[in-house]
Amino acid sequence: MKQSSVDLLLLLLALAVLATPAFSDLVLSKVERRIDVTSQIARVTKTLQVINSGSESVSEFTLTFPKFLGNNLAYLSVVHSEGKGKSKRNLANLSVRAANPKGIPDSISVYSVSLPKPLSKGETLTLEVVAAFTNVLQPFPEKISQGDSHLVMLQESSQYLSPYAVESQSLTIKLPNARIESYTKLENTKLQGYEIKYGPYKNLLPFSYSPIVVHFESKAAFAVAEKLVREIEVSHWGNVQVTEHYNVVHRGAQLKGEFSRLDFQARPNPLGVSAFRHLLARLPPRAHSIYYRDDIGNISTSQMQSDSKKTDLLIEPRFPLFGGWKTFFTIGYGLPLSDFLFVSEGKRFLNISFGSPMIDLVTEKLIVQVVLPEGSKDISVTTPFAVKQSQEIKYSHLDIAGRPVVVLEKNNVVPDHNQYIQVYYKFSNINLLSEPLMLISGFFVLFITCIIYTRADFSISKSSATYLAKLQWDEVLATLQEVQSIIQKCLATHDKLEASLRDLSRTGDIQTCKAARKSTDSLLKDLSKELKPLLGFLQSSPSASHISPKVEELVAKEKELQEKLMAKHTTVVEGYEKKSSGRDIENRIASQQQKIIALRQEIEDLLEFIDEI
Amino acid sequence: MAAKPIASPIPVAMYPTLSVFTLAIGLVITAIFFIYEATSSRKNRSLAKELATSAVASVFLGFGSLFLLLASGVYV
């Protein structure tokens, strides 16, 4: 308070000695200012009508603020507009930069606006200026107890501080619907409801300044994020994951004395008005998998409502926040990829809002980390305002080279900064396959290990009796398997022969049947040749002594079956050649058929027995 | 500037179903592989057959586990 009055004094002194011929070409014919202090941010909207009364054309316009406001300027936009009321059109956003011209005292912040086209003699132009200031609503008193209401103070000038002469100007201050403690009364001051009007004041000289102070009660949440880290992770598998880490502090009047939970809970209205309980985050539509947690774990006090335009997340910190109290929490949510990621001219770009989704939250230090998929190249960022940029690498799930991260930093961010930023990059869809390939090779390595393990020999003594016995037994088993597979093949060949007989009875084609017989004959011969050495091995092997009789029996039965089958085949074929009747043939093979079935059954039983070894 | 939105290669809603089916197929083939490993004796085991089974199984398991990760919200 003291500091700022000294500032004001200095400012006035400086103004008194200031001679400003450099700026005198332009005249502001009408200035309307509106200051909205219903939230913790002082949002100033100005409509300036500029006339060039000089002889030379002017292409630069100078905006000035008292330094104590200028230092807290968070957002400034100047729009060239046309028309009035409903027919008003915004033509162009003008570029604004901080300037430091000579001849202006240090107690004034200067911004230079480049006009859309040079303003020649006698022409007029309308500018719409929106400026947002943080920390200009000073709590007064600075410390209050739990039951006190929260009073804040705004300092401004009733006359518009400008390097140009002003013909007519007025100021409206919109206050919240609460008590108004006091305000500076000048001539032409009116209080209408919760609006204070100063002016209109006519024919002001350049750098006119007349300080005013408004002292009023504010019920707004003075929630300030000291640091907010937003991590936006893009996955081309269909998701944009946003994780936000908040360090929130109540920047209003500090709490004096102790906090009584009983008083707060029992009678929340008079006791604890200066605290805030909720924060509202307005997330994009179709946000899903939303969570709200801190270091302890999930915080269950949150509510969500969603419709087609937005998703409202109302979060309640673990405790109400009084002045000076801090809390930390994290919220996270997933967003559908197709709402935010686009492709244009071969480049992909992420189009996402910059600031925090929290309503009326001021962020002192905002760090936005955009994590792009692994393999992204040629990264560039476009932002509607200046931010500090850098790049990092982040290692996450299934990464080899790491993901490129674009880090954007900005101080003093207000909700007006919630504009869309674009992160452009190049990415080939082939890179998408790297993750499944990594998983596939992981599994494959596992299988290869199993294959090697089953082939490896881990016995320590290679000459022990048990080891040798085991080796022999392995060989016996392998031989048994081969025998089995050969017998199976034989049985399959038998089936083929039977099938050829059935074909014969259907078509009467004896030649094909004979051909089939020939091929099966040779096949069976080959198989029995293969079988011979295996049988020899089994007979010679001592460890197979209890199995070999069974195997021999199997082989013998199989041979018998073969013979019976051949006999049956010959009978049938002969019958057909002699053109005997079907019944006749059937009668002749009936007894053979019975034996064949019995043998087949026996063989299958034996196979089953061997299988169980 | 015609900006076209980019969607995922496979609809996000399909991930749970896909993960169930690919994992089921993958596990069945894995089972076939291990049954073969356990039942065939060391002498007449065929390396080609083992490699083929394991390759098919790992493709299914790899995609299956990827879809499982995606379905459970771990967007890789």
How many residue pairs from chains A and B have C-beta atoms closer than 8 A? 121
Contact A137, A155 (CB under 8 A): no
- Inspect the interface and report whether the beta carbons of A239 and B12 lie closer than 8 Å: yes
CA distance A498 to A493: 9
> Helices (DSSP H) in A392-547: which residue ranges?
434-455, 465-507, 510-540
- Name the CA radius of gyration of chain A, rounded: 46
Give the residue ranges of DSSP H helices in A17-170.
67-70
Shortest Cα distance, chain B CAs vs residue A456, angstroms: 10
Taking the CA of residue B40 and the nearest CA in chain A, the distance in Å comes to: 8
User: Hey, how many other C-beta atoms are within 10 angstroms of the C-beta on A111?
Assistant: 19
pLDDT tens per residue across span A222-259: 999 999 999 999 999 999 999 999 999 999 999 998 88
pTM score, two decimals?
0.79
Task: Mention every residue, 6+ apart, whose C-beta is less than 8 A from residue A572.
Answer: A501, A504, A585, A589
Out of A42-56, B17-31, B45-59, which region has the weakest mean confidence (pLDDT)? A42-56
Q: What is the C-alpha radius of gyration for chain B, rounded to an integer number of angstroms?
A: 18
- Tell whether the model's pLDDT for residue A498 goes beyond 90: no
Question: What is the least distance, in Å, from the CA of B20 to any CA of chain A?
Answer: 16
pLDDT grade, residue A581 (50/70/90)? confident
> Is the distance from CB of A245 to CB of A382 less than 8 angstroms?
no
SS3 annotation, A328-340: EEEEEEEEEHHHC
Looking at the predicted structure, is the pLDDT value of residue A395 above 80? yes
Closest to A298 (Cα-Cα) out of A329, A340, A265, A263:
A329
Q: Which among A241, A443, A450 has CB closest to B75?
A: A241
- What is the predicted pLDDT for the residue at A47? 92
Task: Answer whether residue A316 shows pLDDT above 90.
Answer: yes
Look up residue A506 and give its two tokens: 């259907």
A361: CB partners within 8 A, 6+ apart: A223, A224, A225, A248, A279, A415
Q: Look up residue A276 and give its two tokens.
A: 């805030």
Helix intervals (H) in A230-377: 261-266
**Cβ contact, residue pair B55, A444, below 8 Å:** yes
What's residue A426's pLDDT?
94
Q: Distance between terminal CA atoms of chain A?
A: 98
Share of chain B above pLDDT 90, in %: 76
**Alpha-carbon torsion angle B9, B12, B18, B19, nearest 10:** 110
CB A581 within 8 A of CB A556: no
Which amino acid makes up residue B60?
Answer: F
